[in-house]
A and B are shown apart, each in its own frame.
Chain A
Amino acid sequence: MSQTVDVGTPPAPARDERVARKSPLGRLMARPEIGALAGAIVIYLIFFIVAPPFRDASSLATILYVSSTYGIPAVAVALLMIGGEFDLSAGVAVTSSALVASMVSYQFSASMWVGVVVALVVALAIGFINGYLVVKTGIPSFLVTLGTFFMVRGLNLAVTKLVTGNVGTNDVSDIAGFEAAKKVFASQFTVGGVAIRITLLWWILFVLIATWVLLRTHIGNWIFAVGGSAPSSRAVGVPLNKVKIGLFMTVGFVAWFTGMHILFAFNTVQSGIGIGNEFIYIVAAVVGGCLLTGGYGSVIGAAIGAFIFGMTNQGIVYAGWNPDWFFFFLGALLLGAILLNNFIRRRAEASR
């Protein structure tokens, strides 16, 4: 009986008519950050034209500072989102870290560094609990972290009240180690007469490390994979649970770092702050091209997203507009970025 499929012949190179060489521009257009970059340039130009104070170097430094305080958490939030998960507790975890460091050092009359380390442990624990609950229960991280968000928010208020009898912590600026810690987390230096906050350097460093991990190491491969298709990555032997828990703990780490900055920049911490910031981190990541469903995105994009946030936040002030409109602009920006990203991604995928 003869065969019905001519299996002997090698497959014909019949794909050629479908694959045109992609131009460098086309390659650039296919990057996840491209929408955010275009948006950042447009917004920069708008404020540059309408707001003369915006043009000063010192204004740029301020904008970059504001951007960095949101951009640092957004680094890990972007990684987590690429890994397919959310963390709504990131904003209040920042506050928890600052509160814990402050109260531990003050109440136990210990060095500031003791508080800093204890706060790190607490922040990582919050991340671990989030991650553990997500991977063990299979409940969407949106719900799990919504729960932990309220719990942490309540703890911030209740424990602070219990310990200090107040809604804020005591001033810790004369505790041993404060100055040294402040140098690390909240110092500033001048370059050409412009004061630069150290968080900017940390931000750049974190973005570079995260980008390197994401694109060059096998861990990055796994992050993309668990976000892109969890069952597939599990089937080929990617340690899915470890990757996801690790990502949540990374968010814990940056929350801790940001909390330390707040503590050492302001000396005291109000227990109610930080609520709503988790959305700004997510906005930065999404504006930066991270796909809400995971598996696609970039840390550099999230940094650009945070920069757009900083520019808008400060630019409205420099332009003399009513700042009440800020959140309206932020929301419009988010929607615009999502539409632009969708459009670009579809084009990029279609053009292959």
Chain B
Amino acid sequence: MTTTADTKTQAPLVRLTDAGKNYGNIIALQGVTLEVSGSEVTCVLGDNGAGKSTLIKIIAGLHQHTHGTYEVEGEQVRFNSPREALDHGIATVYQDLAVVPLMPVWRNFFLGNEVRKGPVMDRAGMRKTAKQELLDMGIDLRDVDQPIGTLSGGERQCVAIARAVHFGAKVLILDEPTAALGVKQAGVVLRYIIQARERGLGVIFITHNPHHAYPVGDRFLLLNRGRSIGYYAKDEITLAELTGLMAGGAELEQLTHELEQFGDEDSELRHVAEAFEHEVAELGVGATPPPDQSAGRHEPPSP
């Protein structure tokens, strides 16, 4: 086990050992081992249907695992609700972020946890706290009174992260935080992931983009069809290998052939197949990965 930072706790904040989940006779997740400690980012990579959501739901307390063990700070747990997970310091930032677009940033920040002064809300204090917390995460908002819907996708993501941090999260689960973002915005969010790590939090970063995962991750768990297909520390794998594993080269090729076969009977599908083939070629599966030295925010190709 390689750990990048020396953490104060010996036991990792979250540890799954050989965990699995069946829905009736359907095996949604099988044999997953994963851990995250403070000041560490564990990335979970996988394509659609790989079992990422099932995994998050187990950690977040929406579902319970049916196999293996789930430990929080060395203690075996089985959460019955997201509230219980939250009480253990495990906060999840979902893709939809759980924000109300028309409401001001500060109202969103404290929604459900309003600070009260007698019967009224401590509005000045809440505005100040929200502004400060966001500043600590590196977001300098001119006006916390603006509706959160007017912020960019990256900023919204960061408000959701800052909110989780403020309300005592020790472990952050980020569900595809960069999926719907442009290249630049994704870079901004990655910075905040680092920021959260620097503040001593453990982060579980779910993504399907190895170019987003590799720069920030300390460990990488790859999922495919509900199974772990690899669990690596950073020094055990390169970006190129990660990309190759992630794209699952052989499988993609097979899919291309299948699409082509159908395409013979259906002209519309043929177009799809051609476009898909083109995309696979562009992804450069098995070929050389995109050059690293091109550096910085423009590098990761948008998904």
Q: Which residue, of B94, B103, B119, has the highest number of chain A Cβ atoms within 10 A?
A: B103
Residues on the A chain within 8 Å of B255, using CB:
none
Chain A 195-224 interface mask (CB, 8 Å, partner B; 1/0): 000000000000000000000111001101
Given contacts A2-B292, A224-B107, A352-B150, contact A217 B100 (CB under 8 A): no
Chain B residues with CB below 8 A from A8, complex form:
194
Q: Identify the closest chain B residue to A225 (Cβ).
A: B100
Interface string of A221-234 (1 = CB under 8 A from B): 11011001101110
Instruction: Decide if B188 touches A11 in the complex (CB within 8 Å).
Output: yes
* Cβ 8 A contact of B120, one of A216, A236, A352: A216
On whether the beta carbons of A349 and B111 are closer than 8 Å, the reply is no
A10, A221, A238, A349: the one within 8 Å of B147 (CB)? A349
B112 within 8 A of A: yes
Given A4-B215, A7-B215, A225-B103, answer yes or no on A352-B146 (Cβ-Cβ < 8 Å).
yes
A136 at the A/B interface (Cβ < 8 Å)? Answer: no
B267 within 8 A of A: no
Known A5-B299, A221-B107: A231·B123 in contact at CB below 8 Å: no
Q: Which residues of B contact A352 (CB under 8 A)?
A: 146-147, 150
| CA gap between A11 and B136 in the complex, in Å | 12
B201 sits at the interface (CB 8 A):
no
Chain A residues within an 8 Å CB radius of B121: 216-218, 221
Kindly state whether residue B274 has any CB partner on chain A within 8 Å. no
User: Among residues 151 to 206 in chain A, which have CB atoms less than 8 Å away from a CB atom of chain B?
Assistant: none
Contact-residue size bin, chain A (C-beta under 8 Å from the other chain): 35 or more
B125: CB under 8 A from chain A? no
The contact string, 1 if C-beta is below 8 Å from chain B, for chain A 45-77, is 000000000000000000000000000000000
Q: Given A4-B214, A15-B142, A232-B97, do A217 and B119 touch, yes or no (CB 8 Å)?
A: yes
Q: Is B187 an interface residue (CB 8 A)?
A: yes
Q: Which of B110, B111, B216 contacts A5 (CB 8 A)?
A: B216
A19 contacts B by Cβ under 8 Å = yes
Verify A231–B112 contact, CB threshold 8 A.
no
Indicate whether A296 reaches chain B with its CB closer than 8 angstroms. yes
B166 within 8 Å of A by Cβ?
no
A25 at the binding interface (Cβ < 8 Å): no
- Give bound CA distance, A169 to B142, whole Å: 61
Q: How many A-B residue pairs have CB under 8 A?
A: 122
Residue of A nearest to B142 (CB): A19
- Report if B17 contacts A (CB, 8 A): no
Which chain A residues border B295 with CB–CB below 8 Å?
A: 2, 4, 6
**Inter-subunit contact B138/A4 (CB<8 Å):** no
In the complex, per-residue mask of B131-156: 1 if CB is within 8 Å of any chain A CB, else 0: 00000001110110011011000000
Closest partner residue, chain B, to A4 (CB atom): B299
B146-172 interface bits toward A, Cβ cutoff 8 Å, 1 = contact, 0 = none: 110110000000000000000000000
Query: Is B24 interfacial (CB-CB < 8 Å)?
Result: no
With known contacts A11-B188, A237-B113, A228–B297 Cβ distance under 8 A? no
Q: Is B238 an interface residue (CB 8 A)?
A: yes
Complex CA gap A291/B103 in Å reads 13
Q: Closest CB-CB distance, B197 to chain A, in whole Å?
A: 9
Check B257 for interface membership: any CB of A closer than 8 A.
no
* Complex: A218 Cα to B112 Cα, angstroms: 8
Check if A1 is an interface residue, CB within 8 A of chain B.
yes
State in angstroms the CA–CA spacing of A49 and B172 once bound together: 64
- Contact bitstring B274-303, A, C-beta under 8 A = 1, else 0: 000000000000000000111111011000
In angstroms, Cα B120 to Cα A122, docked, is 31
Instruction: Take A5-B216, A217-B119, A221-B121 as given contacts and tell me if A229 and B139 are in contact as well, using a CB distance cutoff of 8 Å.
Output: no
How many Å lie between the Cα of A1 and that of B293 in the bound state?
Answer: 10
Residue of A nearest to B116 (CB): A218
Q: A1-B292, A6-B295, A7-B190 are in contact. Are A236 and B98 (CB under 8 A)?
A: yes
Q: Are A235 and B113 in contact (CB under 8 A)?
A: no
Asked if B96 lies at the interface with its beta carbon under 8 angstroms from chain A, I say yes
Q: A295 and B300: CB pair below 8 A?
A: no
Q: How far is the CA of A13 from the CA of B142 in the complex (A)?
A: 11
A11-B138 contact given A5-B215, A5-B299, A221-B114, CB 8 Å threshold: yes
* Docked pose: A19 CA to B83 CA in angstroms: 38
The CA of A223 and the CA of B300, in the complex, are separated in Å by: 41
Q: List the A residue with the shortest CB-CB distance to B140.
A: A13
Contact A237/B191 with A4-B215, A15-B142 known, Cβ cut-off 8 Å: no
Within 8 A of A (CB), among B175-193: 187-188, 190-191, 193
Scan residues 88-126 of chain B and give those whose CB is less than 8 A from a CB of chain A: 94, 96-103, 107, 110-114, 116, 119-121, 123
In the assembled complex, B211 has its CB within 8 A of some CB on chain A? yes
Contact of B211 among A1, A4, A231, A291 (CB under 8 A): A4
For the complex formed, measure the closest distance between the CB of B142 and the CB atoms of chain A, giving whole angstroms: 5
* Interface presence of A322 (CB below 8 A): no
Closest to A352 in B: B150
Q: A4-B214, A352-B147 provided; 9 other pairs, C-beta below 8 A?
A: A1-B238, A10-B191, A217-B121, A225-B111, A228-B103, A231-B96, A231-B98, A232-B98, A349-B149
Chain B residues with a Cβ under 8 A of chain A = 82-83, 94, 96-103, 107, 110-114, 116, 119-121, 123, 138-140, 142-143, 146-147, 149-150, 187-188, 190-191, 193-194, 211-212, 214-216, 238-239, 292-297, 299-300
Can you list 26 A-B pairs, Cβ within 8 angstroms, ordered by A? A1-B292, A5-B191, A6-B297, A7-B190, A7-B191, A7-B194, A7-B215, A8-B194, A217-B120, A222-B112, A224-B100, A228-B102, A228-B103, A229-B100, A231-B96, A232-B99, A233-B111, A235-B82, A235-B98, A236-B98, A236-B112, A237-B113, A238-B112, A296-B102, A352-B146, A352-B147
